[in-house]
Amino acid sequence: MSDAVVFQFSAGWCELALGSGAQRRAFRATGIDDAFRHLAQAVAALAHPEPETCLQAVLWGDEPGGVFLDFATVAPDHLALVVHALAIPNWITGTAAQWMPIRGEVLLKQLAPRQELVTAFLHGFTAAGATAGPDGSIAGWPHPYPAAAVTEIRDALGG
């Protein structure tokens, strides 16, 4: 799974490709919300062998639509990742107070040892960071590179 997480930025969008084999899928997020940073922070929170947080959810929002990336600590040494479609895809329109984070169909499932899954995300974040400018800017993305969260992930993995 080490090469299974790939990010591509273009014109205010971030595409995340993940999974392997027949389950490999790509999902887009708009730059309206800094989904890339939220994802890095979620992975950082779960990167430690004994995380204080056992569940993390990230909205990877398309216009309209998107997915939820739901992470869960299954056992001390394993993480589950389930990607759900949004049951109510209009998160970006209307009154924000009326939108509910209701999950739809399962689009992808992954169960892996914690270190393997976190390392796969670290490789993806690191590859994206290699293209960031000295000020942390990412070409094609309106938000800075989440260096602190990526450093936390690297430190949790032991360097």
Bridge partners of 67, per DSSP, are 60, 85
| Tens digit of each residue's pLDDT (9 = 90 or more) over 74-128 | 887 899 999 999 988 777 766 656 677 889 999 999 999 999 999 999 999 999 9
* Percent of the chain clearing pLDDT 70 (strictly above): 93
Measured between alpha carbons, how far is 63 from 53 in angstroms, rounded to an integer?
Answer: 29
Q: How confident is the model at residue 48 (pLDDT cuts 50, 70, 90)?
A: confident
Relative orientation angle of helices 114-129 and 147-156, to the nearest 10 degrees: 140
Contact in structure between 71 and 38 (CB atoms under 8 Å): no
Domains of the chain: 6-152 (3.30.2450)
Contact in structure between 19 and 124 (CB atoms under 8 Å): no
